[in-house]
Amino acid sequence: MDYNGGTVLAMAGKNCVVVGSDKRLGVQNLTLSTEFQKVFPVTEKCYIALPGLATDVQTLSELFRLKCNMYKLREEREIEPLTLANMISSTLYGRRFGPYFCEPIIAGLDKNNKPHIYGMDLIGCLNFPDDFAVAGCAEAALFGMCESLWEPDLEPDELFETASQALLSAADRNSIVGWGAVIHTM
Amino acid sequence: MDSIVNKFKRSTSTWGDHNMLVNFDVTKEFSLPSFDIPPCHNPIEFLKHNTDEKSNAECRIKFKHGTTTLAFKFQGGIIVSVDSRATTGSVIATQNIRKIIEINPYLLGTMAGGAADCTFWERELGRRCRLYELRNKERISVSAASKLLGNIVYSFKGMGLSMGTMVVGWDKIGPNIYYVDADGTRLKGDLFSVGSGSPFAYGVLDSAYDFDLSAHDAAELGRRAVYHAAHRDSASGGNIHVYHVKQSGWENLGFRDFDDLHWEYQDQPKPSIIGDVQPMMLNIQD
């Protein structure tokens, strides 16, 4: 998980969620790119963030794009965050004995605009936090930052600030994470 | 009372001996500091297992490694330029470490590899250089100083010391740079770069190096080379320090924060390295 670097977080506020990642792609110490995408939209109101091995980040983002499109064609509606989380969890467990090296985080609003965030480990164990979810190389630093900065019922602008500061400060303490941050607010 | 004092008086290492001033033994000056070795079957293997990342990726103690340092000679003396980030594994321990060690007012040592190893042994080198000065009533040459350091680390060869340092100074022969590392290598040269970011620094240095650079341009070249290395190498960053070694001794040219330099260089036009070189004639068949 330390090979390519990268870290993500998601936070829940009052009828809003934010999800963000850093922008670095490297091969151990060498930085290859400072604009590497790790947060992918699944629907308008649901995003997945994929930190970890870069090849698995790209493979999984395409795989979930396929699965969500098929879901939409079959069900004739957009996928909900909880359903998506369970779908991702099963996909990851399907590779239990040769896993994808990726610890996805899902953030979105359901059809009633209620905020949902989920995290999971690389073999699909779901985590249902009501405050924040972190993953990636700087997750230890991010836990510390989020625990101290987060408070319940933040408005979208305040939540954006909180998430940015947490991500940037944690990235400053890790050499393989950084080169800026991208935050999506829903 | 005496029995209590005697209980604590026994000490096997000269460095741990707080009575050093009282019990100063002249013959002990030349000896290497003695260290306590762990009482296990194979102390070297034990140390390697717990600290060496190459032989054991899950070692519990990760030393601070990763750096970019460089030094080069030019008409105005020597420019030494370093970054200031120390990393333990992927965590940044500090962005503010001093990697240029001022051994004395005319000798500098750089730090690459293990931070503790470099600071400790270069300070020991400073002590020995001072003793040389007192005995011989003249300043030690850079060649002799680097030889002293090289021989010290050679005696610990195989025990896991990690050090890649440049001993830099201006002695009566002229400006000198010696590269000394923990394997026992000691090389004299005009241009060196040491550390995980050194490949990147070499590229920038080699493209713009000229012996006849002015002092200002040479300092800027040193700064740029470390900046480009810190840009690409994640184990380098923090502040970029530059020192200029002249006949009268070294001068600290200050430091610039890497992030500030990044935005400053973005705004400037890229320095031309192609210049008047003939363009390559490529035989591209359509």
pLDDT, position B31 = 66
What is the Cβ-side half-sphere exposure of residue B143, based on CA atoms within 13 angstroms? 6
Question: Dmax of chain B from CA atoms?
Answer: 97
Q: Are A166 and A9 in contact (CB under 8 A)?
A: yes
At residue A131 the predicted structure's pLDDT band, cuts being 50, 70 and 90, is very high
CATH number of the structural domain A7-185: 3.60.20.10
State whether the Cα torsion B203-B121-B156-B134 is positive or negative: positive
Residue of B67, B68, B87, B110 marked active site: B67
pLDDT, position A171 = 92
pTM above 0.90, yes or no: no
Among A121, A59, A117, which residue's Cα sits nearest to residue A89?
A: A121
Could you tell me the end-to-end alpha-carbon distance of chain B, in angstroms, rounded to an integer?
A: 97
Q: Are A150 and A162 in contact (CB under 8 A)?
A: yes
Structure-block tokens of residue A110: 């359901």
Q: Are B174 and B75 in contact (CB under 8 A)?
A: no
pLDDT, position B56 = 60
- Name the residue with tokens 């400073």: B126
**Mean pLDDT of all residues in chain A?**
93
Least confident of A46-55, A116-125, B13-22: B13-22
Classify residue B26 by its DSSP letter: G
Contact between chains at B234 and A5 (C-beta distance less than 8 A):
yes
- Is residue A117 pLDDT above 90, yes or no? yes
Distance CA A41, CA B283 (A): 46
What is the tens place of the pLDDT at every residue in A145-174?
999 999 999 999 999 999 999 999 999 999
SS3 B256: strand
pLDDT, position B23 = 58
Q: Does B238 touch chain A (CB under 8 A)?
A: no
Distance CA B230, CA B262 (A): 10
Q: Please report, in tens digits, the pLDDT of each residue of chain B (286 residues total).
A: 677 666 666 555 545 545 545 555 655 566 666 666 767 777 767 666 666 555 565 665 655 568 899 999 999 999 999 999 988 878 888 888 889 988 889 999 998 888 788 888 888 898 999 999 999 999 999 999 999 999 999 998 888 788 899 999 999 999 999 999 888 999 999 999 999 899 999 999 999 999 999 999 999 999 999 999 999 999 999 999 999 999 999 999 999 999 999 999 888 877 666 555 566 666 666 5
Contact between chains at B196 and A26 (C-beta distance less than 8 A):
no
Checking DSSP bridges between strand A25-27 and strand B64-65, what pairing results, if any? unpaired
Q: Does A137 touch chain B (CB under 8 A)?
A: yes
What is the Cβ-side half-sphere exposure of residue B230, based on CA atoms within 13 angstroms? 29
pLDDT, position B61 = 60
SS3 B59: coil
**What is the number of CB-based contacts under 8 A between chain A and chain B?**
39
B233: exposed, middle or buried (C-beta count within 10 Å: 0-12, 13-18, 19+)?
Answer: buried
Among A83, A128, A171, which residue's Cα sits nearest to residue B234?
A: A171
pLDDT, position B156 = 87
Instruction: Search chain A and give the residue with CA nearest B237.
Output: A175
pLDDT, position B5 = 66
Mutation target to probe the A interface, by most A beta carbons within 10 A, among B58, B68, B88, B92 is: B92
Contact between chains at A174 and B233 (C-beta distance less than 8 A):
no
Q: Where are the alpha helices (DSSP H) in chain A?
A: 54-75, 81-93, 139-149, 156-172
Q: Write the ipTM.
A: 0.71
Residue B53, Cβ neighbours under 10 Å: how many? 13
Q: How far is CA B171 from the centre of its chain?
A: 19
B110 is catalytic: no
pLDDT, position B104 = 86
Instruction: Search chain A and give the residue with CA nearest B228.
Output: A31
Q: Are B193 and B68 in contact (CB under 8 A)?
A: yes
